[in-house]
Amino acid sequence: MPGEPLLKLESVSIYYGNFCAVKNVSLSVYEGEIVSLIGANGAGKTTVMNAIMGLVHPAKGSIIFEGKRIDKLDTSQIVSLGVSLVPEGRRIFSTLTVYENLMAGAYTPRARAQREQMLKRVYDLFPILQERSKQLAGTLSGGEQQMLAIGRALMSNPKLLLLDEISLGLSPIVTLKLYDAIRRINSEGTTILLVEQNVRQSLKISSRAYILKSGEIVLSGYSKDLKDEEEIKSAYFGV
């Protein structure tokens, strides 16, 4: 892999009180890649995502985006730099319209300047959102809400898009649709780091993967090499 990574975590440890949720995690994401972070419930995946976004701050280690340390910055500054997260559980603004949700995604000055362009791109990706633009977001189906959450995150035109369990609670057909959209977003130039419990799905879409267990990275490598399920299973379940 040539050059500096777009995102680099160096020996990051994160505590909630005395509880160590993430221990000494290092990982890199290079421009143009899709990287997945795989692990069971409670392995610390969401905590890693939240730390990248500045929602929690690591006690040790550093997080570097485009060569700049971001682990002490506020979330709003990190978003302005071009990182965007589709949070676990979607967290759409349910009493706002679909259109207003998307506009909220284009809040930063950098995004506001090009919001019409981005809106067109999002509508192009998910035409259903254009159809329902005047509807309250809370009235959408689960899959549509997830599309809205992804569209909203895209509105800031991020260089790095973080996806936290986008398939959670959705049918296999909807999940496949979403993964197609992710591929398209990536092919249009957005680097992606995704968190999943769904091992097969995420290995299929990503070029590299990290396996997280109890807050530590126990395995990493090219996704095609990791497809040997036994190896993953042992990392996953500790058998």
Residues of the shown chain interacting with another protein in the complex, contacts defined by CB under 8 A: 53, 55, 74-76, 79-80, 84-85, 87, 91-96, 100, 103-105, 107-108, 111-112, 152-153, 156
Half-sphere exposure of 94 (CA within 13 A, CB side): 8
- 90/213 with CB nearer another protein: 90
- Give yes or no for a contact between 217 and 22, defined as CB atoms under 8 angstroms apart: no
Q: How buried is 24 (Cβ within 10 angstroms: 0-12 exposed, 13-18 middle, 19+ buried)?
A: middle
- 102/211 with CB nearer another protein: 102
**Least distance to another protein, CB of residue 38, Å:** 22
Q: Which residue's structure tokens are 């509807």? A: 135
CB proximity list for 16: less than 8 A, separation 6 or greater: 56
Q: Residue ranges of the alpha helices (H) in 75-228?
A: 75-81, 98-105, 109-113, 115-125, 127-131, 142-154, 172-187, 199-205, 223-226
- Give yes or no for a contact between 151 and 86, defined as CB atoms under 8 angstroms apart: no
